[in-house]
Amino acid sequence: MIPIRDENPTLHTSLATFGIILINILAWIFVQKLGTEPSLTKSIFTNGLIPGELLQTIPAGTLFPIVESYSYVVEAQPNYLSIITSMFMHGGWLHIIGNLWFLFVFGDNVEDAMGSFKFLIFYLLCGVAAAITQMFSNPQSHIPMVGASGAIGGVMGAYAVLYPRARIHLLIFLGFYINKIVVPAFFVLLYWFMLQFIGLIPSLGRGGGVAFFAHIGGFIAGIILVFIFRNKRRMKKRNGI
């Protein structure tokens, strides 16, 4: 199921949402060179979050051959900034397009309920919570975590709390059959959350792949933090739409 749009108008310009989207696009173009090698691999290992390095469960100086022309050496000084920079790195075209599309669909309404500055802080905190969850799920991992998925999971958790009955237009793909349906936001976001748990089961005990723990951690963080960051005055004004 792919969300196309929601029936949930906003009252304010979504400066933070579009700003975050723009930063991700610029990072993809100028840092990751549109996914071309060796820039893609180097950017992922330089700016991605590597649990074993941050938690120092992997000895400094350990060398991991990645590709024929590039190897990664675990640093003695952990790169704590990677908790933030990892949110703006992606592993491929589908990864960045999917993440930014979900942020585009759901982010503006959450920002509308908080204000741009508070939304930006909320987004980053959800990303940090997602990163910490993923990091402690596999503290010995040398595989970098990248992507905005954890932070966007937080946005989706907040949306579920703020607008559970908002109507979401979805494209449904069943083999060659494609249809469009309209369902409440709560159904879409609960379905997405359940998929994370289903995907988590076969990945237990293995590194790499999709960071399901990060998605779940971000989603739960969003559900909790939205009560702190929402602006009651803005919500009252929105309820008058």
Confidence of residue 15 (pLDDT cuts 50, 70, 90): very high
Structure tokens at 187: 């159904």
Q: Mean pLDDT throughout 203-228?
A: 83
Q: Alpha carbon of 27 to those of 24, 56, 88, 197: distances in Å? A: 5, 27, 7, 30
The percent of residues in the chain predicted with pLDDT above 90, rounded, is 71
Structure tokens at 212: 């399901």
Confidence of residue 8 (pLDDT cuts 50, 70, 90): very high
Confidence of residue 171 (pLDDT cuts 50, 70, 90): very high
**CA–CA separation, 146 vs 90, rounded Å?**
6
Does 205 have pLDDT greater than 70? no
Q: In this predicted model, what pLDDT tens digit does every residue of 29-70 receive, in sequence order?
A: 999 999 998 899 999 999 999 999 999 999 988 888 776 677
Identify which of 27, 213, 219, 228 has the alpha carbon closest to the alpha carbon of residue 106. Answer: 219
Residue identified by tokens 């920002």 is 111
Question: Which sign does the torsion angle of CA 173, 219, 110, 234 carry?
Answer: positive
pTM above 0.85, yes or no: yes
Domain layout of the chain by residue ranges = 2-238
Burial of 18 (0-12, 13-18, 19+ CB in 10 A): middle
CATH 3.20.20.140 assigned to domain 2-238? The reply is no
pLDDT of residue 1: 80
